[in-house]
Amino acid sequence: MRMLVVEDDAAIADAVCASLERAGHAVDHLANGKAAISALQEHAFALVVLDLGLPGEDGSEVLRKLRVDHDGTPVLVITAREEVDLRVRTLDLGADDYLVKPFSLAEFDARVRALLRRQSNRGVPILQLGKLSIDLAGRRVLLGEAPLDLTAREFALLEVLASRHNRVTSREHVIEALCTWNDALTDNGLDIAVHRLRRKLADSGVNLRTVRGLGYLLEADDDP
């Protein structure tokens, strides 16, 4: 999934971005609140990790603007400030969760997984499709009982299509979900990922169909 990290402390940003990337996410990083506001207006992210003390605009202002725009993107606030009233204000502004620095990456990862679970499948962590069990939070797929070996990009592709199975997902939507500013996904790159994922899904009872001119469709043989 594509995520945005807004944090001006380079060491924390590096650690958090690396941790999200290890979990297979596409991560963009910004260190400025103003830039974050524009980015959030232009792009869709599955999750935002937001520092409060930022140059440009304060993190709480970024959050306020996001919610004023009726954007329900999950936001995990990370803050060095431990004042209770600030935390309460942040939650009131629409943060989904917060962590106080310094925090362990293990706890950070767990909070992210919990937020994604809540968001992507209304609390159900495993998506069943054909013979596939897709663990969205744990980033694992089983084909029957056996783990299915997918690259991070193939998992991300499966995830975006599986979350919308039986509906056509446009190429643009897929590319937007999978790429970052530093790691563009070309048309050719998407074709390759689709081809490889389709091959790996051969015995899964799930078909990845190309709908010419429209996009992609994931459907299970046993779907009505």
Minimum distance between the CB of residue 68 and Ca ion, rounded to whole angstroms? 22
Q: Which candidate, 117, 105, 119, places its Cα nearest to that of 13?
A: 105
Minimum distance between the CB of residue 93 and Ca ion, rounded to whole angstroms? 17
- How many Cβ atoms sit within 10 Å of the Cβ of residue 24? 17
Q: Which candidate, 117, 118, 132, 199, places its Cα nearest to that of 165?
A: 132
DSSP 155-213: HHHHHHHHTTTTS-B-HHHHHHHH--SSS---HHHHHHHHHHHHHHTTTTTEEEEEETT
Minimum distance between the CB of residue 20 and Ca ion, rounded to whole angstroms? 18
Which residue has the CB atom at the shortest distance from Ca ion?
53
Which lies closer to Ca ion via its Cβ, residue 64 or residue 173? 64
Minimum distance between the CB of residue 7 and Ca ion, rounded to whole angstroms? 6
Which lies closer to Ca ion via its Cβ, residue 50 or residue 156? 50
User: What's the farthest any 2 CA atoms get from each other in the chain?
Assistant: 55
Cα 213 from Cα 224, distance rounded (Å): 24
Which lies closer to Ca ion via its Cβ, residue 51 or residue 154? 51
Cα 23 from Cα 18, distance rounded (Å): 9
How far, CA to CA in Å, does 136 sit from each of 54, 144, 177? 31, 16, 15
| Nearby residues of 194 by Cβ (< 8 Å), 6 or more positions away | 157, 208, 210, 216
Which lies closer to Ca ion via its Cβ, residue 52 or residue 132? 52
Minimum distance between the CB of residue 9 and Ca ion, rounded to whole angstroms? 5
Which lies closer to Ca ion via its Cβ, residue 33 or residue 215? 33
Minimum distance between the CB of residue 180 and Ca ion, rounded to whole angstroms? 21
32 touches 10 (CB < 8 A): no
Q: Which candidate, 142, 149, 152, places its Cα nearest to that of 206?
A: 142
Which lies closer to Ca ion via its Cβ, residue 1 or residue 52? 52
Binding site for Ca ion (CB under 5 A): 8, 51, 53
